[in-house]
Amino acid sequence: GQQVMQIPQYQHVQEGEDFTTYCNSSTTLSNIQWYKQRPGGHPVFLIQLVKSGEVKKQKRLTFQFGEAKKNSSLHITATQTTDVGTYFCAGGSNDYKLSFGAGTTVTVRA
């Protein structure tokens, strides 16, 4: 079945620095969604990408969908303490199933 892998599992970032988390699928995806879960909270939808090579920005967050629609990335610039949490990608397939990655847990050093 479809598997979605995320790397790295943990990301320790100095406040103000940039970082990227990656999402890779074993199969071609129909769409990819990104969610953020704050410590002790629940996943909250951030964005969805559908088109090959699509790039979307939300303030300091840049989301990209690969040309082959098998991978995606989330790049955060000038990391702030409010960016702490776990970021999940979720890949959609043609049978409407959404497969979540294990997430990248981000901690920030002030």
Binding site for other proteins (CB under 8 A): 4, 9, 30-31, 33, 35, 41-45, 48, 50, 88, 90, 92, 94, 96-103
* Nearer to other proteins (CB atom), residue 77 or residue 99: 99
Q: How far is the CB of 78 from other proteins (least distance, A)?
A: 26
* Unique residue bearing structure tokens 């970021």: 87
Q: How many CB atoms lie within 10 A of CB 10?
A: 11
* Nearer to other proteins (CB atom), residue 76 or residue 90: 90
* Nearer to other proteins (CB atom), residue 44 or residue 68: 44
Q: How far is the CB of 49 from other proteins (least distance, A)?
A: 10
Q: How far is the CB of 92 from other proteins (least distance, A)?
A: 5
Q: How far is the CB of 18 from other proteins (least distance, A)?
A: 25
* Nearer to other proteins (CB atom), residue 40 or residue 59: 40
Cα gap 110→65, rounded to integer Å: 31
Cα gap 56→74, rounded to integer Å: 10
Cα gap 77→26, rounded to integer Å: 28
User: Encoding tokens for residue 102?
Assistant: 């294990």
Closest CA to 91 of 21, 28, 20, 1: 28
